[in-house]
Amino acid sequence: MHLLNQQTSEQYVTHMQKTSAVIKQWLDDNNVYLGGTPQQVQVTNAFSIREQGRDIDTILADIQSKFLPSCVSTANANCLAHLHPPTLVIGQIAEMIIAATNQSMDSWNQSPAATYIEKDLIHWLCQRCQFDDISNALFDEQIGHNAGGVFTSGGTQSNLMGLLLARNQFYKAKGVDVQKDGLVGQPVGNILCSDQAHFSIEKNAALLGLGQKSVIKVATDASGAMLMSDLQHQIDQLGTDNVMAIIATAGTTDLGAIDPLMSIGKICRDEQIWLHVDAAWGGALLLSQRYRHLIEGLNQADSITLDFHKHFFLPISCGAFLLRDNQNFESIRHHSEYLNSADDEQDNIPNLVTYSLQTTRRFDALKLWMALDLLGTDDYAALIDSCLDTAKQAAKLIDANENFVLVHEPIISSVLFYFTPKDTELSDEQLAQLNRHIAQALLVNNIANVATTQLEQRLCLKFTILNPNTQINDIADIIEQMAIAGFNRLNSDNLNVDGKKQHDAA
């Protein structure tokens, strides 16, 4: 009687209500984090598997007393460390439906309605990216083919898809079917991306047998955007025939930098180089009313990464890979008679496994579909834009504080800065340790969750503002607490204005 079916439907409702009550209490407590140090979390959440199971109420009691307090609450307005947002209530409702129906997106007969909802949503996203303007197709013979795509687990998988299809196209042009024959004896195609691009580019290059050395980093300007002069220099040095793909980023992890998409797109068209745009973060600006212009040129891409568990406020995981020319999926097509038979294709029955690296796959598209249905594009845009507005206000607040240095004006909604107390001289290493301590102290003491990152040899603090409920007064309070934590650490270390311990000075 443990399986979900018509016999346990009443139990399902009862247990879901109890679970919802536990989660409600956790949300109402409104803590950022109560788990303590890593060692304390490990001890608190240790478990053992027994020969005889326990009842659900006992298990839920442990969830309430041990697990949930050890979780970082993205719902809290002071949770600002990563691209890890609070989630829409409609997204939680969708998760219940996804889990209960347990549709598998590999074949139509495992997900009849879900298949068409995902296909229609992919079509809408391609239109939103203006892929219907097909004049920029990679090769002339591709003109007329439809755009397409598939939902993925997130940015890393979508970037892998982009590099995979770029690789196959690159070697096809050289007369090699790399899917069948492999890369043995073939020259390695090079991948160009900015030195601020996501680490998954190198990781995926290794997975594809190209090696991390195939990834050539292009210099960036002060804002973290790719320098066109260095991009052209790198292409000239390598030779166009040796460039497999260019990866542009629309929203780097730290600065939120957006590469010059229009200019990169022109180079790729002129040189017939595959352009993949990693818009895992910046792609949310497709819905923005006031910041959409920041990603102008996104439609120049041959493929695009989007993440909906970032600035679209949906539960993990939910991403998409979009492709200008659906025909490029042919290079990864594999037939299995029990999933995507040729007969199904003749009967126009869609089996989405054809387009995915995954076989069994969740119906994550439902979350985005329901969210768009509830909010419409206008209310969605308002949520996204409010985060960018708050980031700009936060930057002004930090810049006006004599004990902090603002590293760069926010581009999307990340703010990089560091604590450097006035009239106190500290080495770079001492400053790094001090700022690292500030971030750790705020989290362990249930004040805020902020990140640290390294930028140009400088350890920085980082706000990633992905919560529309985070207001400037919340930011002001956190900055004040940061200063307190910083000065308390200085006092405990007994540092004087010269950055030396007083007993050393004596």
- Output the pLDDT for position 497: 43
Please, which pLDDT band fits residue 495 given cuts at 50, 70 and 90?
Answer: low
| pLDDT digit string, tens, across residues 318-367 | 999 999 999 999 999 887 887 878 777 778 889 999 999 999 999 999 99
Do 200 and 156 form a contact (C-beta atoms < 8 A)? Answer: yes
Percent above pLDDT 90 for the chain = 88
| pLDDT digit string, tens, across residues 185-197 | 899 999 999 999 9
Summarize the confidence of residues 104-116 as an average pLDDT. Answer: 95
Strands, E assignment, 180-312: 190-194, 215-218, 243-249, 274-279, 303-307
- Output the pLDDT for position 145: 55
Cα separation of the two ends of the chain: 75
> How many whole angstroms separate alpha carbon 473 and alpha carbon 455?
27
- Output the pLDDT for position 334: 84
Report whether pLDDT(72) > 90: yes
- Output the pLDDT for position 494: 67
For 322, the enclosing helix (H) or strand (E) is strand 319-323
Distances (CA, A) of 234 to 188, 217, 227, 231, 463: 16, 9, 11, 5, 33
Least confident of 132-141, 245-254, 412-421: 132-141
pTM of the model: 0.94
Please, which pLDDT band fits residue 126 given cuts at 50, 70 and 90?
Answer: very high
> How many whole angstroms separate alpha carbon 413 and alpha carbon 305?
19
Tell me the two tokens of residue 434: 């001090």
Do 180 and 174 form a contact (C-beta atoms < 8 A)? Answer: no
The chain-wide mean pLDDT, for the chain, equals 93
Do 466 and 280 form a contact (C-beta atoms < 8 A)? Answer: no
- Output the pLDDT for position 144: 40
| Pairing state between β 319-323 and 303-307 | antiparallel
Report whether pLDDT(222) > 60: yes
Please, which pLDDT band fits residue 439 given cuts at 50, 70 and 90?
Answer: very high
Residue 452 phi, psi (nearest 5): -120, 150
| pLDDT digit string, tens, across residues 156-182 | 999 999 999 999 999 999 999 999 999
Least confident of 40-49, 130-139, 171-180: 130-139
| pLDDT digit string, tens, across residues 261-298 | 999 999 999 999 999 999 999 999 999 989 999 999 99
